[in-house]
Amino acid sequence: MAIAIIDYGAGNLFNVRNALKYLGFESEISSDAAVLCAADKLILPGVGAFPDAMNKLNASGLTEVIRAEAKRKPMLGICLGMQLLFEKGYEFAETQGLGLIEGYVDLLTCPGQKVPHMGWDDVKIVHPCAMTAGVNEGDMVYFVHSYKAVTDEENISLSAHYGQTIPALVRSGDIYGAQFHPEKSGDVGLNMLRNFARL
């Protein structure tokens, strides 16, 4: 199985699989550790709240599986899944994340702007990486989030600006995280998913 989409009971996993299928890549939605271990790549999607998602990962025993497998294969976190890659989250209460990328997740504070940051916004290329091949400065992707990652600039591939700088695509080694939804970002997003699937 090429790509395993990690199912831990949070959010819409089918649209990620639909996008991969449309691009010609096989994937399997699974919560089975054996499937995640056998996969070439992992995708961690997610919609919802940080503490609830981590509780679900911890309760299902997947936290340790993901931490171990992320050392061996490329991984992509999407939206909340991206935020979970960091060390800590401050949504409702301080919560330990997966700790795969240095940094933490905190509430968006954009005076005079609506929260959530929802809709199409343009990205700036900070540090090009394999996933950003074919992405142009100013390309637009689809965001829906109320929290943002706080991390070193060296981990940021793409950023957006919404009253403040928001890490849009982060990367540490083969661990990637997209704050936006590549599966809902039209051709720009599909291109980045394809780049990931081809890693």
Partner 1 sequence: MLAKRIIPCLDVRDGKVVKGINFVGIKEVGDPVECAIEYNRQGADEVVFLDITATHERRGTMVDVVRRTAENVFIPLTVGGGIRSADDFRELLKAGADKVSVNSAAVYNPDILAEAAYRFGNQCVVLAIDGRASGVVEDQNSPRYGQPKYNVFTAGGRKDSGRDVVEWAILAESLGAGEILLTSMDTDGTKAGFDLGMLNAVCEVVNIPVIASGGGGSLASFVEVFEKTPSDAALAASIFHYGEYEVNDVKQELRTKGIPVR
185 binds partner 1 (CB under 8 A): yes
- Contact between 190 and partner 1 (CB under 8 A)? yes
Structure tokens at 95: 């919560």
> Does residue 107 belong to the site contacting partner 1 (CB under 8 A)?
no
161 annotated active-site: no
Q: Both tokens of residue 162?
A: 């919404």
Per CB under 8 A, the segment of 1-9, 32-40, 56-64, 179-187 that binds partner 1 is 179-187
| Binding flag, residue 125, partner 1 (CB under 8 A) | no
Distances in Å between the alpha carbon of 103 and those of 92, 99, 119, 170, 174?
A: 17, 8, 25, 11, 16
Shortest reach from residue 37's CB to partner 1, in Å: 27
Kindly write down the DSSP assignment for every residue of 111-143, as one continuous string: TTS-SSEEEEEEEEESS--GGGTT--TT-EEEE
Q: Which residues bind partner 1 (CB under 8 A)?
A: 11-12, 14-15, 18-19, 21-22, 47-48, 114-122, 140, 142, 144, 161-162, 183-186, 189-190
